[in-house]
Amino acid sequence: MSTLPSAAAPSRTARLRDALLAADFTADGLLDLLGAPAYAALARSETVPALRATRGDGPLETLVRLFLLQRPVARARAAAALPLDDCLADGWLTADGDEARATVDVRPYGGPDGEDWWIVSDLGCAVGGAGGIAGGGAGPAGTDRSELVLGVGGASTTLAGITVRTPVGSALDLGTGSGIQALHAAQHAARVTATDVNPRALHIARLTLALSGAPEADLRQGSLFEPVADEKFDLIVSNPPFVISPGARLTYRDGGMGGDDLCRTLVGRAADRLNDGGHCQLLANWQHVEGEDWRERLASWVPAGCDAWIVQREVQDVAQYAELWLRDAGDHRTSPEEYAARYDAWLDEFESRRTKGIGFGWITLFKSGADRPSVIAEEWPHPVEQPLGAGVREHFERQEFLRTHDDAALLGARFRLAPEVVQEQVGLPGAEDPEHVVLRQNRGMRRATKVDTVGAGFAGVCDGTLSAGRILDAIAQLIGEDPVLLRDRTPESIRLLVEQGFLIPEAG
């Protein structure tokens, strides 16, 4: 196995971090240097535009070539950009004659509040980097490819964006990989524990945290919840190896369990590791099994005492799914016979499990302790506004409100219209009345829902000052309807608007 850098000398790591900042080796600095087209091309694993943009000999160009493009540079250039002796001593760089090379990928990453962070990963394994694992990158010499540690990809940033970021006492990053979720958690958790079955990942996560100037995490090796025994946490996050595959070839993606058992097991065991009021948030793949409703199937995973919000973002048929992950492993670069054999193995696996498609999405649990938990599984392939963590927290707060308010209490409550909700009227040109009215959110989940004229009028008046019942009485007087009948038929519509986030209950 190739030797990884060390962060055992904090003062030397701090000098390296200072040098990266001084050279503007940051997310914003990269965009300024490369320009939007080359920056976007790098995310597609296309390096030629970035190579052309780094022909100069300034410190930033040198760092991009070393750590992102993974090209050798002259020792003199490296010494002008970095504390070279420190980097050689700690193993961030190696020297061969007059040239220096990086031993790991170091990728600038912007934190949620403008922090400048750096995510460390194996060479050739930064998702969207030079080569990339999907491009068949073999990683550093002497390293078993199954143990390679990837950098930041779309899944990582999605999970970071949907995670609830309220201050907590303890957080667990299960399957930490390069450490990005632990890095985020360190900003709002007093104590962070990060686990991984791969010891190489734990080492790289330690480098990510140290180089980014974050507090140290409690790093533990092991599978699933084994490393934390009976401990409980206020927040659990996981971007697990959720790929449904016919074998555990690559640690970073294949969990080693059949079908979607890994994700089911994580969800089922999470309640025992959560403090009351805690959240567990993970990305997952799940099977669409012939003859079963995927919503009911996933709802059955949810442990007692937990509310759940399951959002399916995408569905792929089994052939698309197999091809995606065969390319990820570089199998399309093997012989046609080998590729066909592995393709067959994937399809055999799906056929044996009566799998007709694979869903991808988010699963969030909230340990409410409720006797009547709220379990919502929905399909939402449409664009959302990230970060969505506050919206996830508010979703569960609204479920608790609805659970504890019967219709009479609902009519006595006050509501306000959520920010940036607009009304759209749809109908034929020139018609006196619209065929229907749509309320549309421009924030969060960006939902749209049809309402009748009463619903639209009700929502438009909600500013937190009048109770729902008093608003309905006023509407009844305007349209000449019996207020008692209007009060009887409206609570269901109000509940839907609250559940979907169009109306926000006022406290008190």
Find out whether 110 and 24 touch, Cβ atoms under 8 Å.
no
**Residue 113, exposed/middle/buried by CB under 10 A (0-12, 13-18, 19+)?**
exposed
Per-residue pLDDT, 142: 64
Convert the pLDDT of each residue in 439-488 to its tens digit: 999 999 999 999 998 999 999 999 999 999 999 999 999 999 999 999 99
Convert the pLDDT of each residue in 214-246 to its tens digit: 999 999 999 999 999 999 999 999 999 999 999
Per-residue pLDDT, 128: 47
Per-residue pLDDT, 248: 75
3-state helix, strand, coil in the chain (%, to 5): 40, 25, 35
Find out whether 15 and 83 touch, Cβ atoms under 8 Å.
yes
Quickly state the pLDDT bin for 341 (edges 50, 70, 90).
very high
Q: What is the mean pLDDT of residues 326-340?
A: 90
Quickly state the pLDDT bin for 2 (edges 50, 70, 90).
low
Convert the pLDDT of each residue in 51-82 to its tens digit: 999 999 999 999 999 999 999 999 999 999 99
Per-residue pLDDT, 490: 97
Q: What is the mean pLDDT of residues 408-435?
A: 91
Per-residue pLDDT, 145: 77
Per-residue pLDDT, 250: 79
133-137, 270-274, 427-431, 463-467: lowest mean pLDDT where? 133-137
Find out whether 434 and 455 touch, Cβ atoms under 8 Å.
no
Q: By C-alpha distance, which of 293, 288, 296 is closest to 321?
A: 288
Per-residue pLDDT, 139: 56
**Residue 37, exposed/middle/buried by CB under 10 A (0-12, 13-18, 19+)?**
exposed
Q: By C-alpha distance, which of 251, 17, 48, 31 is closest to 120?
A: 17
Per-residue pLDDT, 3: 85
Determine the Cα–Cα distance for residues 334 and 241; give it in Å rounded to an integer: 24
In sequence order, what E strands does 49-129 have? 73-74, 93-96, 99-102, 105-110, 116-121
Q: What six digits make up the tokens of 422?
A: 């607009």
Quickly state the pLDDT bin for 136 (edges 50, 70, 90).
very low
Of the two residues 448 and 251, the one the predictor is more confident about is 448
Asked if pLDDT for residue 129 goes beyond 80, the answer is: no
Per-residue pLDDT, 385: 96
Per-residue pLDDT, 140: 63
Determine the Cα–Cα distance for residues 408 and 275; give it in Å rounded to an integer: 32
Asked if pLDDT for residue 389 goes beyond 70, the answer is: yes
Quickly state the pLDDT bin for 381 (edges 50, 70, 90).
very high
Per-residue pLDDT, 144: 79
Asked if pLDDT for residue 185 goes beyond 50, the answer is: yes
Quickly state the pLDDT bin for 124 (edges 50, 70, 90).
confident
Q: Which helix (H) or strand (E) holds 358?
A: strand 355-367
Of the two residues 428 and 31, the one the predictor is more confident about is 31
Q: What percent of the chain has pLDDT over 90?
A: 86
Asked if pLDDT for residue 432 goes beyond 80, the answer is: no
Quickly state the pLDDT bin for 141 (edges 50, 70, 90).
low
Per-residue pLDDT, 132: 41
Per-residue pLDDT, 130: 37
| Phi, psi for residue 332 in degrees, rounded to 5 | -70, -10
What predicted TM-score, i.e. pTM, was given to this entire model? Answer: 0.94
Per-residue pLDDT, 247: 82
Asked if pLDDT for residue 272 goes beyond 50, the answer is: yes
Per-residue pLDDT, 127: 59
Convert the pLDDT of each residue in 34-54 to its tens digit: 999 999 988 887 899 999 999
Convert the pLDDT of each residue in 288-306 to its tens digit: 999 999 999 999 999 999 9
DSSP assignment string, 426-455: E--TT-SS-SEEEEEESSTT--EEEE-HHH
Asked if pLDDT for residue 133 goes beyond 50, the answer is: no
Quickly state the pLDDT bin for 507 (edges 50, 70, 90).
confident
